[in-house]
Chain A
Amino acid sequence: MNNTIKQLSVFLENREGRLDEVLKVLAAGGVNIVALSLADTSDYGMLRMIVSEPEKGRASLKEAGITAMLTDVVALRVPHAAGSLSKAMHQIVEGKVNVEYMYAFANGSDAAAVLKSDAPEKVVDILKKSGFDVYSADEAYRANQ
């Protein structure tokens, strides 16, 4: 089973109503957003999402003339307990993997975070070997598993 998941990333020009346009396209395509992070710079924004059907989401955006791409990320799952994320991160750093960015992911009873790195498969291995779990694609694309 594939343990990395697909994130849908969208480049947003800083202009009025652009985010609304993107969300409208996904809504019309029946694509549900499970988690999202919106980063902004002075020129543009970067919308990163975990959605119910990433391929379909990308296709509908493309059809609407919006640039989107799919990125392999890991949906890390840690118990809601102080220090658990710290432990997991420590293992990743020990494994010499670079974390590019991370954002929270509300899903089920455990704490979850989407993590982008330069070696997603390796992150999955490291986490599993050190007793942490990750969400599979099936689980991640549906809310509240």
Chain B
Amino acid sequence: MAGIALENWQEQIRDPKIECMSRDEMNALQSERLVKQVKNVYENVSFYRRKMDELGVEPGDIKGIEDIHKLPFTTKEDLRDNYPFGLLAVPQEKIARVQGTSGTTGKLTLASYTQKDVDVWGECVARGLVMAGLSSADRIHVCYGYGLFTGGMGLDLGAQALGAMAIPMSSGNTKRQLMCMEDFGATAFACTPSYALYLAEAAQEAGVVERLRIKASINGAEPWTDEMRKKIESILHINSFDIYGLCEITGPGVAMDCIHHKGLHVYEDYFYPEILNPADQSACAQGETGELVFTTLAKEGMPLIRYRTKDLTSIKYDTCECGRTLPRIQKFTGRTDDMKVIRGVNVFPTQVETALLSMGGGVAPHYMLIVDRENNLDVLTVMVEVDEKYFSDEIRKLDELKVRVGAVLKQALGVSVRVKLVEPKTIQRSEGKAKRVIDNREL
């Protein structure tokens, strides 16, 4: 299949009423939902009641979306402190599903969904699939990982909501992926952009590109460039789309880009975006870069008020050429913290530190993370200092230590790492915030 050129593209919109709503109507819808949500969290989540009381804000003070700035923030640390079910606004029996992502330390960040939350999630992903030109006749090969990670389940739910065929491949085993893609006649696939490029090159090498029926790919969970998108598109002769989401808010399907690739349309009827100045959390002017903050306007299970994503971006509110009025967040320019996305998995340097300390000796909690991209796949190397007490003249013992460190880190981070043992006291110490990550990927 060939990718469709922009001039021949026929834009499909799943929910024109919402996706093309006027700003006034959208603000009214958001206001109605926010007022209800604030009342809900004040009454049902002690964390929010306490936070609002501390700020002297009552649900009655929130009369519309314009009052959102009066509300308290929620951070990843708040999620950790209330782990696993402390932020629920419904009894635990109402929870239909949990999904998770890495936390800044050893524990996961867990998100809980009611059945309605799951349905909304699927609906948002389905809107994105339609935006990618797909319909109920399509077959969506999902090679995101299934499990606590939201990637696989999110796309699966989207395919279900759309009435399309879901092919739940999960990640890994490229040969098998290509075989199934061909045999099952997949018309779209979803995975991280780096794996998409890897898969595209593997398909090219195996000479199967012409036998595939793929017309679109949906790729997200890690930052990528327009150049990378064009490369995937040109190898497979398809159209590729960027999908964004985070587990805390819902998973993939918070925002997605259209064929015009002028930013990712945010489903703001459910996820209200704000862009705030990282220094003082004041609102940024339109187009100005700041921290992306989300409020889940209709979530039941674990509603979040002004959740700080730490992703840096800007937002545009003008109507897109595709006809949607949904605002567009631009490509991320960075983060306010030192989180890295490795093969779609969020990795925090502090997780490495916690894991090394948990080993109870052998290595010092001094480390350096080096991120490279080899053959389009992310490779994470962790340089670890051997503890002087454990230093051995026997290579076997050092290798055992290396294997042990590798296993502990893989378990803690959810991605495999290359461990490189270095001499004690050779990793730079610095007062205050040490530079712990070197990212050699060009994103």
Contact = CB atoms under 8 A, between A and B. Distances in A.
B388 interface: yes
Contact of A66 (B395, B398, B399, B423): B423
A43 B421 contact: yes
Interface in B59-117: none
Interface in B391-419: 391-396, 398-399, 402
B425 A11 contact: no
A101 B394 contact: yes
Interface string A41-54: 10110101000000
Given A11-B386, A48-B393, A67-B391, A43 B425 contact: no
B394 A116 contact: yes
Interface string A88-110: 00000000000011000000000
Contacts of B392: 69
A4 interface: no
Contact of B393 (A41, A66, A69): A69
Nearest to A39: B395
B3 interface: no
Chain A interface mostly = strand
Nearest to A10: B393
A9 interface: yes
Contact of A69 (B391, B420, B425): B391
Nearest to B385: A67
Interface in A34-87: 39, 41, 43-44, 46, 48, 65-67, 69, 71
A100 B394 CA distance: 7
Interface residues of B, number: 18
A43 B381 CA distance: 12
B424 interface: yes
B358 interface: no
A11 B399 contact: no
A13 interface: yes
Given A11-B386, A41-B399, A71 B393 contact: yes
Nearest to B418: A43
Interface residues on A, range: 10 to 19
A7 interface: yes
Chain B interface mostly = mixed
A9, A48, A66, A67 pick with most chain B CB within 10 angstroms = A67
Contacts of A7: 393
B395 A41 contact: yes
A100 B423 contact: no
A48 B393 CA distance: 8
Nearest to B388: A67
Contacts of A100: 394, 396
Nearest to A70: B393
Contacts of A41: 395, 398-399
Interface string A1-35: 00000010101010000000000000000000000
Contacts of A69: 391-393
Contacts of A44: 398, 421-422
B423 A67 contact: yes
Contacts of B393: 7, 9, 46, 48, 69, 71, 116
A14 to B, nearest CB: 9
Contacts of B421: 43-44
A65 B422 contact: no
A46 B386 CA distance: 14
A98 to B, nearest CB: 11
A123 B424 CA distance: 32
Interface string B136-152: 00000000000000000
Contact of A65 (B395, B398, B420, B425): B425
Nearest to A18: B423
A53 to B, nearest CB: 18
Contacts of B422: 13, 44
A44 B388 CA distance: 16
A100 B398 CA distance: 13
Contacts of B333: none
B426 A13 contact: yes
Contacts of B386: 11, 67
A44 B383 CA distance: 12
A101 B393 CA distance: 10
Contacts of B424: 67
A65 B421 CA distance: 16
Given A43-B420, A67-B424, A69-B393, 13 more contacts: A7-B393, A9-B393, A11-B386, A11-B423, A41-B398, A44-B398, A46-B393, A65-B426, A67-B386, A67-B425, A69-B392, A71-B393, A100-B396
29 contacts: A7-B393, A11-B386, A11-B391, A11-B423, A13-B422, A13-B423, A13-B426, A41-B395, A41-B398, A41-B399, A43-B402, A43-B421, A44-B398, A44-B421, A44-B422, A46-B398, A48-B393, A65-B425, A67-B386, A67-B388, A67-B423, A67-B424, A67-B425, A69-B391, A69-B393, A71-B393, A101-B394, A116-B393, A116-B394
Closest 5 CB pairs of A and B: A9-B393, A67-B423, A71-B393, A67-B424, A43-B420
Interface of B: 386, 388, 391-396, 398-399, 402, 420-426
